[in-house]
Amino acid sequence: MRMLINVPETVVADALRGMAAAHPELAVDIENRVIVRRDAPVAGKVALVSGGGSGHEPLHGGFVGPGMLDAACPGEVFTSPVPDQMVRAAAAVDSGEGVLFVVKNYTGDVLNFDMAVELAEDEGVRLGKVLVDDDVAVTDSLYTAGRRGTGATLFVEKIAGAAAEERAPLERVEAIGRQVNGSSRSFGVALSACSTPAKAGPTFDLPSGELELGVGIHGEPGRERRPMMTSREIADFAVNAVLEDLRPSGPVIALVNGMGATPLLELYGFNAEVQRVLAERDVAVARTLVGNYVTSLDMAGASVTLCEVDEELLRLWDAPVRTPALRWGG
C-alpha cells in the first residue's frame, strides 16, 4: 500500500494531530472531530460551520479562519460527519448572532446537517443553511439526489464568510451564500481513480488510456468515458458544459481545481486552455484561482468552477482571508 499512513483506522486522527501542530491558530478537538478558529466565538459575528467526509483536503478544515469558516467537522474518509459534531461546532462558535451551515449536496451530509439543525435549535442556537449543488455533470449520482456539491463550496465559504466578518446579519449572510451557489457551476474530469486508505486500491475501474468526463469528488460516474484527450480538448468540453448551464452575462471568478494528484505544472497549463475557451465565448474573467482546493485523495484530474459575480460579490471575494489554505489581504 503506497500511502504515507500508519494504519487506515487512524488516518483522520493522525491528520488532525498534524494539523493542530502546524496551525496553533486553530483549536483542533481530535477526539470529537471539530476544528475551530481559536478566537471563537467572535463577538457580534455570524458563525459559519461546514464539514464533510475527509479526503477532500484542504476542504473544509483548511478553510477555517478569519474571513471564511469558524468551524469545520471532518468525517471519516468520504463519510459524512455526525450530527453531534455539528452541534458541538455550532455551540463552540455561536456568539448569539446565529450560525450558518454550509452543506454540500450529498445524502449523508444533508440528513446529518438537517438533524443537527433541529438539535442546535432546541438548544437555542439560530441556524441558517446553504445547500451547495453546483455540479452540472449529472442530475443524480451514487451519493446524492440532485446535483452534487463541489467547487462552489469554496466560493460560498469565502464570500459568505467575508460578509459575516463584516458583521452582516444571519439572514443576509445566508442570502449571499445562496446567491453564490445559484451563480456557480462546476464540471470535473478524472484521469485516474482515487484510492481510499481502507480499500488500499482504486475505488473504481478506469482503464489506462481513458478518462472520465464529469466525475464526482468521490469517484462517482460522470457523463461518459473517452480515450485520453489533450488539455485543450478537455477544457473545451468542461468549460462548454459549464457555460451551457450557467450562461453568464457578467464577469466570473474561475477556479481551476486539482483533484489531488495533478501537479501545478499541468494545472496552470490547463488554466491557459480554460482561459482561452472563456475568451472565445466572450466571458470576462474577474479573478482566477488555480490549485488543489477540493480534492479526491490521490485522483489525477481537474475541475472547473465558474461563479458569476457582481460588484458586491467580487468585493467580498477580495476581502482579507487568513486560513491554512487560503490567505490574502490585510
Catalytic residues: 56, 218
Helices then strands (H, E): number in the chain? 8, 16
Taking CA atoms, 303 is separated from 49, 80, 121, in Å, by 24, 22, 36
> In sequence order, which ranges of the chain are alpha helices (DSSP H)?
11-22, 83-93, 107-122, 152-165, 170-182, 231-246, 264-280, 311-318
Q: What is the dihedral of CA 24, 326, 170, 44, to 10 degrees?
A: 40
Listing DSSP states for 148-209 in one string gives PP-THHHHHHHHHHHHHHTT--HHHHHHHHHHHHHTEEEEEEESS--EETTTTEESS---TT
Question: Is residue 107 packed enough to be buried (19+ CB in 10 Å), middle (13-18) or exposed (0-12)?
Answer: middle
Number of Cβ atoms within 10 Å of the Cβ of 190: 28
